[in-house]
Amino acid sequence: MAKEREKEQSKETAISRRDFLKGMGTGAVAATVAPIVLVGTEKSAEAQMGEEITRAKIKLNINNRLYEVEVEPRTTLLSVLRDGIDTSGKRIDLTGAKPICDRGECGGCTIQVDGKVIYSCMMLALDAQGKQITTVEGLANGDKLHPVQEAFIQHDALMCGFCTPGFVVAAKSLLDENPSPSLAEIKEGLAGNTCRCGTYPFIFEAVKTASRKLKDPLRKIGG
């Protein structure tokens, strides 16, 4: 599952990443990734070395809210979520997704894009335009936590908690696709996420509880 997730994402981002790394001109950028508003150029270390970085103004729909941000072609979606500043000067500050390995191996940065679970460190912000981005911050309904979040709390399915947002989103995605997973399917569905504290048994129990709760919302959590 982890490998599949990685492979699918690499396919989606390979072209744009390769193109940008080759330093394609702004015309090609605008032609391949629309709609983009080019907002000028900014000299950086790369510029001093002869490569010019172009910044683009894009709109991203994150947790049903539209943000307008300026990004470089190489900016990852993870980076925008955590450190991006929208054009009104406000920091996006969605720090649930964690930059741990930053190369598609640990799952700490897991989010959903158009309902599909992805590593946000492996997706360019430009590629997320026009898509529905859901982070762990978007799962609760006001003060009411998502059943997966409730179940993680109930089962103490965390220690340091660094991996937890990624696991919660991956578990939610798994249950979206398969509301009644077996233990083997839960393990398979969460195989793209790593917990260095070893809380796996509690996480698996939490997913089972969330599955029951989602099927029968009136059931008392833990029942």
User: Which residues of this protein are in contact with ligand FES, per CB under 6 A?
Assistant: 99-102, 104-109, 119, 121, 158-164, 195-197, 199
Whole-angstrom distance, CA of residue 160 vs CA of residue 101: 16
CB nearer to ligand FES: give 36 or 210: 210
Whole-angstrom distance, CA of residue 108 vs CA of residue 131: 21
Report yes or no: 150 and 104 within 8 Å, Cβ to Cβ.
no
Whole-angstrom distance, CA of residue 183 vs CA of residue 64: 32
CB of 177 to ligand FES, least distance (A): 20
CB of 178 to ligand FES, least distance (A): 22
64-60-192-108 Cα dihedral, nearest 10 degrees = -90
CB nearer to ligand FES: give 7 or 90: 7
User: Is beta strand 37-42 parallel, antiparallel or unpaired with respect to 65-71?
Assistant: unpaired
CB of 102 to ligand FES, least distance (A): 5
CB of 67 to ligand FES, least distance (A): 20
CB of 35 to ligand FES, least distance (A): 27
CB nearer to ligand FES: give 38 or 160: 160
Token code pair at residue 141: 């309904």
CB nearer to ligand FES: give 9 or 209: 9
- CA distances (Å), 56 to each of 14, 73, 207, in order? 19, 7, 40
CB nearer to ligand FES: give 86 or 105: 105
Token code pair at residue 106: 């640990």
